[in-house]
Amino acid sequence: MLAALAQGLVFGILVGALYGLAAVGLSLVFGVTKFLNVAHGELLMFGGYASFWLFTLLDVDPFASIPLCILFLLLIGLLLYKVLFSRMVKLPTEDKIRNTLLVGFGVGLILQNVALRLWTADDRGITPDYAGVAFTVLGVRFPIVRVASLVIAFVFLFALQLFLRRTYTGKAIRATVEDWEAATLMGINVHRVYLLAFVMGAALAGVAGTLVAVGYSVEPAMGMHWTLKGLIVMVMGGVGSITGTLVGGLILGVAESATAILISGNYRQVVGLVIFILVLLVRPQGLLGTKEG
């Protein structure tokens, strides 16, 4: 039992890092633009399928395909922003959230069915030669693919943090989050900041999707689950907080595996949703969030 718990904890942390990465894109977009892009899970799915195709058709290693997936998702993000989301930039916040949410649903529905046509409803995974390799520490197994994914997720989160804190553009983004009107007065082109945040969010979804495809599997109906996980983690971590999002992701991952071990694997998904509702009701600003964020 103890060994099973330890193993569950490790698997929970490994998948939790991906939840964090999936959520941080959603959170970045929502924090900056107030777009609630519920097609985020579908973008993640497309990232997964992109690397799946690169691997099966062109024999590109999944980890090496990450830059290509980023590029692909940047393009999709750009397209979505230019064609659809840019039309909602000027709405008042409440309407903006609602309309982007509804448009996001439509986009999700379309992408899901495009994926169904292109890749069938089967679960698709990427299995390079080293897929089964794992090392064991104190009786707990660490599959190297998932460990590598965890490391990559951390690297991207750290890089994002650094970008937002240290670079000029990152500061412009943060200024826009705080007060877009004041940011405009300071000469920041808010439209470009919005566009940048949106495509960065899509790109982060692409990275997460690649890691999901290599460590787990992808299928056309997964988008909704990942959007929900992203929302859960975003709300738990507090919008706009990268550290909070990472912690939220890890908590969700561990809570899920604990439920799978202690109660039943069938309720894996439910525990996250219950936590989500509780956080919404009790601490809507997020576990680590500040009162008004």
Is there binding between residue 228 and another protein (CB under 8 A)? yes
Is there binding between residue 239 and another protein (CB under 8 A)? no
Is there binding between residue 151 and another protein (CB under 8 A)? no
Residue 60 or 228: the one with the smaller Cβ distance to another protein is: 228
Is there binding between residue 163 and another protein (CB under 8 A)? no
Q: How far apart are CA 71 and CA 200, in angstroms?
A: 10
Is there binding between residue 116 and another protein (CB under 8 A)? yes
Is there binding between residue 291 and another protein (CB under 8 A)? no
Is there binding between residue 112 and another protein (CB under 8 A)? yes
Q: Which span (54-62, 154-162, 199-207, 273-281) binds another protein, by CB under 8 A?
A: 273-281
* CB atoms inside a 10 Å sphere around CB 147: 16
- Token pair of 87 as six digits: 């039309």
Q: How far apart are CA 44 and CA 222, in angstroms?
A: 9
Q: Is 12 exposed, middle or buried (0-12, 13-18, 19+ CB in 10 A)?
A: buried
Q: How far is the CB of 270 from another protein (least distance, A)?
A: 5
Amino acid found at 65? S
Which of 117, 139, 166, 291 binds another protein (CB under 8 A)? It is 117
What residues pair up with 137 in beta bridges, in sequence order? 140
Is there binding between residue 94 and another protein (CB under 8 A)? yes
Maximal CA-CA distance, the chain: 60
Q: CA gyration radius for the chain? A: 19
Is there binding between residue 103 and another protein (CB under 8 A)? yes
Site for another protein in 31-50 (CB under 8 A): 36
Which of 7, 68, 74, 99 binds another protein (CB under 8 A)? It is 99
Which of 267, 287, 288, 293 binds another protein (CB under 8 A)? It is 267
Which of 63, 105, 154, 216 binds another protein (CB under 8 A)? It is 105
| DSSP structure string for 202-261 | HHHHHHHHHHHHHHS-B-TTHHHHHHHHHHHHHHHH-TT-HHHHHHHHHHHHHHHHHHHH
What residues pair up with 135 in beta bridges, in sequence order? 142
- Which spans of this chain sit near another protein (rule: CB under 8 A)? 36, 84, 87-88, 94, 97-99, 101-103, 105-110, 112-114, 116-117, 224, 228, 231-232, 235, 264, 266-267, 269-270, 273-274, 276-277, 280-281, 284
